[in-house]
Amino acid sequence: MAAGFGGGVWYGDAHASTSKAGAVPTTYPFRGEHQAGIVTPAQDRLHFAAFDITTRSRAQLVALLEAWTTAAERMTQGLPAGRVGPTEGAPLVPPDDTGEAIGLSPGGLTITFGFGPGMFRDQKGRDRFGLADRQPDALRDLPHFSGDQLDPARSRGDLCVQACSEDPQVAVHAIRNLARIGFGTVAVRWSQLGFGRTSTTSTSQATPRNLFGFKDGTLNVKAEEVAALEKHVWVGAEDDQAWLAGGSYLAARRINMHIEIWDRQGLLPQEQIIGRTKGTGAPLSGGTEFTPLNLTEKGSNGPLIPVDSHVSVVSSERNRGVRMLRRGYNFVDGSNALGGLDAGLFFIAYVRDPRTHFIPLQATMASNDAMMEYLQFTSSAIFAVPPGMKPGEHVGQALFERP
């Protein structure tokens, strides 16, 4: 009944076909030491949006972050985006929720905010909101990598929002309502839906498959690896700007896969490009999925895990021990002009410092990885992800407060 939506839990009338979150909790806490949606067990569906800031007013920007924080907290807890809701209030005033998630479970919705380089300086390097001296050194547009064929219209962004849920309609609803609230202050620059997660961020999850048909994310940093998270994911208190301590960096890359060409490869060549078996995901050096890689074990024709295989090229062993927390999603965005599917992986990684944990790895992959023959990078963006919020705080509050 509409009367129930004003302030109550609006998924009260959730029905079987839309409340099948299974083992995933219906809601996650919005506030905490870190933002949710990073180590939270990866939900199955994604809507990611990058925004341009269209105002020159710092006050208006802060007001937006306050309003976004309030709305995001409400939505993650299963409430409408605004107090009045989608079906109440004055008849001639637009509802403060768009309504398409009425009756749906939040499905573990998390909403994660990031700040791009453009929030600090414009393209000519000029201070935009009096924040230039607080721009982290590591927050710079990613360099050009070999193989990049980026679409500028879906790269970069001053702000980003990652919405993840078991239900895509809930994730879309979240982004749409934040865009609605931001009207006049920000505009959507690009957005991306993902329909299947390709990473595991908790040991409680089975490893999913990407559109090459292989398990993806076996060696991901997981929520349970607290020491590894401190080392590889969370920005330390002494790393750079104090406001970012407890936060992270989000690198996003839209990776088109030439799946039609891939599908013409034999099973063995596919496995040699990946470095794992397709069935169980075991490394070609033997064992089962979680058996450590043995990069030196020789077969009759060189290492069992080929030197140019993906797992070898990006292994922490060959990259000064660095690891990333990946949170990517498969996508299909219709077709391309050649009669193939416009499909691939929307790669998201959370890292402590892109200069050490992402850029070198991406560069070595671009140059050495046999998988590159089947990939095309069409979007690229980097964001600083502020830490979690205490009660009453808005996202990034410490950035705007002078110490």
Applying CB under 8 A, among 330, 368, 380, 397 the residue interacting with its own copies is: 330
Tell me the window of 60-68, 227-235, 267-275, 364-372 that interacts with its own copies (CB under 8 A).
267-275
Residue 66 makes contact with its own copies by CB under 8 A: no
Tell me the window of 243-251, 274-282, 304-312, 352-360 that interacts with its own copies (CB under 8 A).
274-282
Applying CB under 8 A, among 9, 18, 31, 400 the residue interacting with its own copies is: 18
Residue 172 makes contact with its own copies by CB under 8 A: yes
Residue 5 makes contact with its own copies by CB under 8 A: yes
Applying CB under 8 A, among 127, 263, 317, 373 the residue interacting with its own copies is: 263
Residue 279 makes contact with its own copies by CB under 8 A: yes
Residue 193 makes contact with its own copies by CB under 8 A: yes
Tell me the window of 184-192, 222-230, 291-299, 347-355 that interacts with its own copies (CB under 8 A).
184-192
For 68, counting Cβ atoms within 10 Å of its Cβ (0-12 exposed, 13-18 middle, 19+ buried), the class is: buried
Residue 76 makes contact with its own copies by CB under 8 A: no
Tell me the window of 204-212, 233-241, 315-323, 351-359 that interacts with its own copies (CB under 8 A).
204-212
Residue 328 makes contact with its own copies by CB under 8 A: no
Shortest CB 96 distance to its own copies, Å:
10
Shortest CB 264 distance to its own copies, Å:
5
Site for its own copies in 83-122 (CB under 8 A): 86-95, 97-103
111 or 389: whose CB is closer to its own copies? 111
Site for its own copies in 220-259 (CB under 8 A): 259
Residue 300 makes contact with its own copies by CB under 8 A: no
Determine if residue 307 is left, alpha or beta; phi over 0 gives left, psi from -120 to 50 gives alpha, anything else beta.
Answer: alpha
280 or 296: whose CB is closer to its own copies? 280
